[in-house]
Structure 1
């Protein structure tokens, strides 16, 4: 065959063609995702029917028929003889939430001193935001401020007793403030302790391995309520005579230790997923154990278990509501405490308060899950971004 009969060889790839208009449009998306098969069509119709049946009544109760202002239970308690509802009751009692909102946020913290936890919240947001932005520099300094300097400043601001600030004992703390403090301390402490426990459980030193395995299995084998009771009742027994530990600090210790045991197993799963060649490559470079762990192994392991780590954080954030068992009132506890207030006792007050507390918990948990997804995409080296 002659070379003159050869066709032209293209040196560049053809440009991608745009998607067909029917698939790129809203109608095409609906047809491809909701009505692609008979099964999808049946499930879509069933879901739409369920939404049509439930959503209007839900919106009426939550918003349109709800009571938004009032000073006591009479604002939310509508008699059948003169009420607008056929069953004699109004919608959600958001007046109760509005009137007790500050208490839900700060507990029994003195009203004149509530600017202090507000300032702490602003400072926390100011130092946390740069830490969550991967492209911003000086992460080491940022971490030092967030995990070392900020807790000290926050403690003196919240507790007082120095620099002319009124002392506010921890039994007066409560609401969302307690939930966030317990969560932040638990998250900040459980991750490094969990890493050390995971490394200790894989250690070749028998004593270290037995201690770590015993701690992890004992803590994971009991519920958080038991750990809180032990921290509240048994921890003072290990102190010298005349010494005592604040109840809030006992709760912090219990929550942090409980979360650390679960975090250790999450991190250990990431360590086991690292190929053996990574360890051998680090050894061939002459790295020490801690250099190999810090520079090679641990960054890869933590990236693999980001969903598990965040799942543990979310579980810890929700489990803080159990501290009400030992006499501390977090967000859920302070909401439930207000159900017994005679000024606001109505059949719809509890459901309204619980929906409010549930929404706050969902808001923070959803935010953590979305940030987790963002970090997974940012650290994904297997796909071009």
Structure 2
């Protein structure tokens, strides 16, 4: 039987055939195009329509961009050079870049100070944003950065931020000394100690105002994108811890604390931000003693921080509500008190759940800083709508200026969004 079968088989291969490359339509760019752009007739038509729209946009935008004029003194001169040709008048950017970035009153010889503070911000934020990659020793610089940045941007004697720092240090020491006996008493002692140090520090800085002093720049002289960045950075940094406290206070079993937080959150969320800015600009002065000067930027920071912290509190409250009851019971079974359970078990999980909502509030807050232009603060939008477009040289330039505003805001907002997605991937400990 086997001999007959062997005689009928002409050839038996005893080696494997070499691997063949896949068909061209199933590999590389061709496969990607078929799978993503032309998987069926309907999606193929939509792809062709989208490509046509993109072509029309680029056909008008690219000649306007690359045919633009960068070195003229006015819009009329720019249009005379173009003589009907397609091109943007970008000379307004080369002529007014300093006003767009720093405002029209900030001393030009001091531009290095906010620029240096901006660069140092990345170093200070690194251990907070990328803790797993940055040495913990950098946290010392992070703690000092707010005081250094204040001195660089506003100027004056260096003793002012030093005394402010000493007040926080003294308050922290007083809090740690009394924390074991009574949390409320320790917090009160910390506040009193800090205010005492700041009160005494006012006399010291007044008597030694010339020690390591930079030229002072009042808040009314600040503007441009620098003002937007200051407001956005400070308000986001302050609103997150305040929002956490408000969220915890709203869930407190103490009726007074709970209702104070509820009334604050609901009132702030029911009032437009522009109304709060008008209150900061006009109404707040009526509640201060006559002759009292309250820095306008500080008033705006307080109002924007109150506004954003109310929204962040609701986002975090949603994260706390999303946690299963077993997490709270697990913390109680370990014998942890309220502060320990919140710090070690509950709050890390709630913040992880709340990351998308927190980022949404942060991005919206940074963009809402442009609303300060309605109270005569010359931020980036205020500079465009005010001194630049009101000038006879550049009255009529719109696309170039608003395009510059887009280039300033988009990288910041997009960077925040991308960082949040990266952080979610880093914290994705659950397996699905």
The TM-score range, normalised by the shorter chain, is 0.7 to 0.9
Matched, 1:358 2:406: yes
Q: CA-to-partner distance for each residue in 1:47-98, whole Å, 9 max, x for gaps? A: 112112222112112x22211222222442238xx8142xxxx422111112
Q: CA-to-partner distance for each residue in 1:254-293, whole Å, 9 max, x for gaps? A: 1111110111111111111111111111110010011111
1:3 alignment partner in structure 2 = none
Of 341, 347, 364, the match for 1:298:
347
Distance (Å, rounded) in 1 between the aligned partners of 2:333 and 2:97: 60
Q: CA-to-partner distance for each residue in 1:83-119, whole Å, 9 max, x for gaps? A: 142xxxx422111112111111111201111121122
Aligned residues: 356
1:22 deviates by 4.2
1:144 deviates by 5.5
Work out whether residues 69 and 75 of structure 1, in 8 Å CA contact, stay in contact via their aligned partners in 2: no
Distance (Å, rounded) in 2 between the aligned partners of 1:145 and 1:221: 39
1:46 alignment partner in structure 2 = 49
Of 91, 98, 102, the match for 1:102:
98
Distance (Å, rounded) in 2 between the aligned partners of 1:117 and 1:193: 27
1:72 alignment partner in structure 2 = 74
Q: CA-to-partner distance for each residue in 1:189-247, whole Å, 9 max, x for gaps? A: 00000001111111122111111111111111111111111122333344344432111
Of 285, 304, 307, the match for 1:258:
307
1:112 alignment partner in structure 2 = 109
Equivalence map 1:124-143=2 (5 Å): 124-139=121-136, 142-143=138-139
**Cα distance change on mapping 1:143 and 1:322 into 2, 3 Å:** farther
Work out whether residues 376 and 382 of structure 2, in 8 Å CA contact, stay in contact via their aligned partners in 1: no
**Cα distance change on mapping 1:353 and 1:20 into 2, 3 Å:** same
Of 172, 191, 200, the match for 2:240:
191
SS for the counterpart of 1:92 is coil
Normalised to the residue count of structure 1, the TM-score between the two structures is 0.87
Of 230, 234, 240, the match for 2:283:
234
Normalised to the residue count of structure 2, the TM-score between the two structures is 0.78
SS for the counterpart of 2:94 is helix
2:151 alignment partner in structure 1 = 156
1:28 deviates by 0.5
Distance (Å, rounded) in 2 between the aligned partners of 1:189 and 1:142: 20
Distance (Å, rounded) in 2 between the aligned partners of 1:26 and 1:268: 46
Q: CA-to-partner distance for each residue in 1:8-49, whole Å, 9 max, x for gaps? A: xxxxxxxxxx99864441111111111112221121111112
Of 376, 380, 383, the match for 2:424:
376
1:8 alignment partner in structure 2 = none
Moved more, 259-268 or 152-161: 152-161
